Chain A
Amino acid sequence: GIQVEQSPPDLILQEGANSTLRCNFSDSVNNLQWFHQNPWGQLINLFYIPSGTKQNGRLSATTVATERYSLLYISSSQTTDSGVYFCAALKAAGNKLTFGGGTRVLVKP
């Protein structure tokens, strides 16, 4: 199956800082999503982004499908951004979304 790797595993930020999270995947994909899991365990879909760039407020994501990676940008981080960020990928002709191990983010006030 497809392998999904995220980096860094942990990230500590001062409130207001910017950061970039990376997701590498081992095969061609036609579905790539980013999720945020808040400290209460709730999983929220951030982006559906198999290719290209999208922005939603302070968050944006870019997927370069030909080079098999996706980036999630957090700008002007806030304490509410804390939690774990997961990317998940579905390879072409597949039907099982595979999750990476996540990046644990802590934003300090």
Chain B
Amino acid sequence: NAGVTQTPKFRVLKTGQSMTLLCAQDMNHEYMYWYRQDPGMGLRLIHYSVGEGTTAKGEVPDGYNVSRLKKQNFLLGLESAAPSQTSVYFCASSGATGGYTGNTIYFGEGSWLTVV
């Protein structure tokens, strides 16, 4: 039972390079999220999606783009990486938001990104 899978788990980028983080979930969830976690801090929402073909901005969207072409996948792109984007990135998914019982959010194991 894979749950939420992120690839790659570790990556070192040079400033200005681009890359894509892939998130895949096998729970048929509608909602998917990308968060970043900086050292000693909580999680901040970058972008999220409420269904296939939809995306929306979170708290800290600048410098990132996302796509949800398939329901099970949510891609996070960095077009021109900057040292300020050095962080741990977490993908998550949930069945729905709103007042429904059991809408737990499930996280992937994280992707450690360093921009030098």
- Interface residues in chain A, defined as those with a beta carbon under 8 Å from any beta carbon in chain B: 1, 30-31, 33, 35, 41-43, 45, 48, 50, 86, 88, 90, 92-102
Given known contacts A41-B88, A45-B104, A97 and B109 CB-to-CB distance under 8 angstroms: no
Most buried by A among B43, B45, B59, B90: B43
- Interface residues in chain B, defined as those with a beta carbon under 8 Å from any beta carbon in chain A: 31, 33, 35, 41-45, 48, 50, 58-59, 88, 90, 97-99, 102-107, 109-110
Choose among B41, B58, B90, B102 the residue that contacts A43 (Cβ–Cβ < 8 A). Answer: B90
The chain B residue sitting closest to A43, CB to CB, is B107
Choose among A42, A92, A95 the residue that contacts B50 (Cβ–Cβ < 8 A). Answer: A95
Interchain pairs with CB closer than 8 A, number: 59
Chain A residues, CB < 8 A from B88? 41
Q: 5 closest pairs, A vs B, by CB? A: A30-B99, A43-B107, A99-B42, A95-B97, A99-B43
Choose among B48, B98, B103, B109 the residue that contacts A42 (Cβ–Cβ < 8 A). Answer: B109
A42 to B6, CA, bound (A): 12
